[in-house]
Amino acid sequence: MTTMTSNPAETAKKVPVTVAYGDGIGPEIMDATLRIIEAAGAQLDLERIEIGEAVYNKGLQSGIEPSAWDSLRRTKVFLKAPITTPQGGGFKSLNVTVRKTLGMYANVRPCASLYPFVATKHPNMDLVIVRENEEDVYGGIEYRQTNQVAEALKLTSRPGSKRIIRYAFEYARANKRKKVTCFTKDNIMKITDGLFHRTFEEIALEYPELEHEHWIVDIGAAKMADTPEVFDVIVMPNLYGDVLSDVAAQITGSVGLAGSANIGDHCSMFEAIHGSAPRRAGQNMANPSGLLHGAILMLVHIGQGKAAESTHNAWLKTIEDGVHTYDIYKEGVSKQKVGTREFADAVIARIGQRPQQLKPVEYLDEIKMSLMMRPAGKPPMKVRVGIDIFIDRRDGNPDQIAEMMQRFGVEGTKLTVISNRGTKVWPNGNPDTYWSDHWQCRFEGDGEGIFTQEHAIALLQAAARAGFDVIKTEGLYTFNGERGFSLAQGQ
């Protein structure tokens, strides 16, 4: 364990932090980062753990020593340098393992341009992407159900949506941001993305001082790439956030300068967004700015906003003074090309200074994230109204399938629609629609009584007796009378 200051009076305020120096350029940029934040007054008790190549090479497929989890659970804060992921099969992504194991539900990535010191088409860009980190298609639940068709499950929960959206609003409030924007595709995914969007509108009401807006992700993304300066904080489901946070970092001018935070209720992880750049390792060349930004996010998170502010402003002044590492050095703009150590020295020499041309940052010392989940209201009334039976049928014809199914004779039920990859093909299908071997056959109550689980089982037995290859079923429910399933396109 390394202590960052030796003054006993300050020791009480020190916050335990787990650090990993990583692989490639990791040790150099971690050393530079820690020197800078210490000089800026960070009060940390560091616990070092091993991750990455050396651990993978010991045969541990997760890339992390079992004992390292104890440190992470104890300190709850992880500053991580990049690691080298071994090529070839079998090895698990350390980031995904840590994120999922420790429930880090929010990924936060500030993306600000440094014009005119780093070339960009967007001189006034200063936005923060808040990406949901655990749900959506990232459960990785996939099936190949027929010869022709595979599926991935997209799961969106109300508590998961509430938590990330509340985090985005709290982040905006704490960082004096003015607007929170939500991106979804709820014109198509009305139930999953619709839930995320609806939750956004509900939570926004609790933050009347913040402007809020929603964009469909396609036009929102196009707008973000064209006029990023109109956005402030953008919150989005996992997949869109994964793609667009890289786009946002790239269009600031240099993806190598960005840091990111993975926030959980119990444990949080901070890092650069770039990798271990093995070809630059050990040459005192790498730019430590990405990891330094990760460390700034960490300091804000642990309530050391003043140290974060001194670090960030000294860094901005260094960039503004033209002291640049090779990756951003540009003849005519830069004044001095420096190595990793010298860059850190230059930032340290400017602690206490503020940038003149770039906008200085201001961080509060204490952020109160009131992220506690509010008790949920009364659960809605859930009523079973039918079943979708999915079948694999190669030489299918919707009219034939419908005819065979209408012969099932399960009293109280009726076949209402057949669709193929989401498009209605019966009744009154369009002859131009392509039929794959994957059919969704919907049975609902006949309107006379309630559709029960026994009806569903009887239908499955009838399907088996008729020789259908049933590949899966989905229950159809209403919640307080609201339909909890999508209609087929064309229905």
Residues of this chain that interact with ligand NAD (CB under 6 A) are 25, 29, 82-85, 95, 256, 271, 274-280, 286-287, 290, 327
Q: How far is the CB of 236 from ligand NAD (least distance, A)?
A: 21
User: CA 419 to CA 37: how far, in whole Å?
Assistant: 59
**DSSP labels, 289-300:** HHHHHHHHHHHH
CB of 489 to ligand NAD, least distance (A): 39
Helices 26-39 and 340-349, interaxial angle, to 10°? 10
> Which of 165/328 has CB closer to ligand NAD?
328
Q: Please say which residue, 165 or 267, places its beta carbon nearer to ligand NAD.
A: 267
Q: Using CB atoms, what's the residue nearest to ligand NAD? A: 275
Q: What is the DSSP letter of 86?
A: P
Is the CB of 329 or the CB of 485 nearer to ligand NAD? 329
Give the residue ranges of DSSP H helices in 350-467.
Answer: 398-406, 453-465
Smallest distance from the beta carbon of 281 to ligand NAD, in angstroms?
9
**Cβ-based nearer residue to ligand NAD, 171 or 270:** 270
CB of 298 to ligand NAD, least distance (A): 15
Tokens in use for 215? 């964009």
Given the DSSP bridges, would you call strands 104-112 and 126-132 parallel, antiparallel or unpaired? antiparallel
Q: How far apart are CA 461 and CA 397, in angstroms?
A: 22
Nearer to ligand NAD, 69 or 477 (CB): 69
Q: Which residue lies nearer to ligand NAD by CB, 278 or 412?
A: 278
Nearer Cβ to ligand NAD, position 132 or 271?
271
Q: How far is the CB of 256 from ligand NAD (least distance, A)?
A: 5
Cβ atoms of 46 and 3 closer than 8 Å: yes
Of 295, 323, 310, 289, nearest to 352 (Cα)? 310
Minimum CB distance to ligand NAD, residue 337 (Å): 12
Contact 171, 177 (CB under 8 A): yes
Question: Which H or E run includes 33?
Answer: helix 26-39
Cβ–Cβ < 8 Å for 435, 396: yes
Helix (H, G, I), strand (E, B) or coil at 476: strand
Closest approach of Cβ 87 to ligand NAD, in Å?
A: 8
Q: Which two tokens stand for residue 141?
A: 């639940």
Closest approach of ligand NAD to the CB of residue 243, in Å: 15
Residue 41 to residue 57: CA distance in whole angstroms: 37
Question: How far is it, in rounded angstroms, from Cα 108 to Cα 300?
Answer: 12
Q: Of 284 and 423, which CB lies nearer to ligand NAD in the complex structure? A: 284
Q: Secondary structure of the chain: what % helix, strand, coil (to 5)?
A: 35, 25, 40
- Work out the number of other CB atoms within 10 angstroms of the CB of residue 1: 8
The pairing of beta strand 211-216 with beta strand 44-48: unpaired
- Identify which of 390, 385, 350, 383 has the alpha carbon closest to the alpha carbon of residue 455: 385
Residue placing its CB nearer to ligand NAD in the complex, 88 or 467? 88
**184 versus 287: smaller Cβ distance to ligand NAD:** 287
SS3 107: strand
- The least distance separating ligand NAD from the CB of residue 369, rounded to whole angstroms, comes to 24
CB of 164 to ligand NAD, least distance (A): 21
Q: How many CB atoms lie within 10 A of CB 171?
A: 23
The nearer residue to ligand NAD, 107 or 161, going by C-beta atoms, is: 107
Distance of closest approach, residue 57 Cβ to ligand NAD, in angstroms = 13
- Whether 197 and 184 have beta carbons less than 8 Å apart is answered as yes
